[in-house]
Amino acid sequence: MKTVTTVVASLLGLMFIVFGLNFWLQFAPVPMPPEGHPATAFLGAMFGSGYLATVKAIEVLGGVALLIPRFRRLGIILIAAVVFNIATFHVAFFGWGSLLDAKVLFAIIATLFLVRVHSLCSCLAGCGTCNPEGTGCCNSGSCCSTESSGSSCCSSEKTESKGGCCGGH
């Protein structure tokens, strides 16, 4: 499972690095909606205001973070926010069927997979403890509960060596 997670995180990270850098370097053409379409006006406003540059910077930073295991959780959080907005944009302007576009579908599935594998929902809610491998959190009902295996994220041994995921570590 660790290999699959690494491959998915790497592909998703590279995808967002490439699309993010393409904004500034323009090495690949970007299809635009037809003139007069509401999506064209929306994208024009995002571009003209500088907001799109911020989103593209987050894409690149999130993509790089996904490639580095130590920062993968941060990358998932950054990319999940971008993927949510991409999905919302597609549904709002082009309908539910637009989510079946290969790039959009991969981004959604890969992000949900990484969120699940890293158990970010319980970590972010502050109600999980790090698992013994240090790759995610376990639902234990209490962030700082001590388990017989000593794998609590609040134990000083695991917090220092694994980075922890609860209690602000």
In a domain, 168, yes or no: no
Q: Kindly state whether residues 152 and 85 are assigned to the same domain.
A: no
pLDDT over 90 at 107, yes or no: yes
Averaged pLDDT for residues 96-102:
92
Q: Binning pLDDT at 50, 70 and 90, where does residue 128 land?
A: low
Residues 6 and 52 both lie in one domain: yes
Residue 36 structural domain: 2-118
Model confidence band, residue 144 (pLDDT cutoffs 50, 70, 90) = very low
State the residue for tokens 């698992």: 131
What was the pLDDT predicted at 1? 83
| Residues 143 and 106 placed together within one structural domain of the fold | no
Residues 49, 85, single domain; the answer is yes
pLDDT above 90 for 166: no
Residue 131 has pLDDT above 70, yes or no: no
- 82 and 151 share one domain: no
- 112 and 70 within one domain: yes
Together in a domain, 32 and 95:
yes
Residue 108 lies in a domain: yes
Residues 86 and 106 in one domain: yes
If asked whether residues 65 and 140 sit together in one domain, one would say no
Number of domains composing the chain? 2
**Does 9 share its domain with 75?**
yes
Q: Across-strand partners of 138?
A: 129
Please check the confidence at residue 99 and state whether its pLDDT lies above 50: yes
**Helix, strand, or coil here: 118?**
coil
Check whether residue 10 and residue 55 sit in a common domain: yes
Mean per-residue pLDDT for 20-27? 95
> Does a structural domain hold residue 102?
yes
Q: How confident is the model at residue 56 (pLDDT cuts 50, 70, 90)?
A: very high
Q: State the average pLDDT over residues 155-166.
A: 42
Helix/strand/coil for 91: helix
- Nearest CA to 58 among 45, 72, 73, 77? 77
Confirm whether pTM is higher than 0.75. no
Q: Which two tokens stand for residue 164?
A: 């922890």
CA dist 52 → 40, 62, 90, 91 (Å): 13, 15, 16, 19
Sign of the C-alpha dihedral, residues 27, 59, 57, 52?
Answer: positive
d(CA 79, CA 11): 12
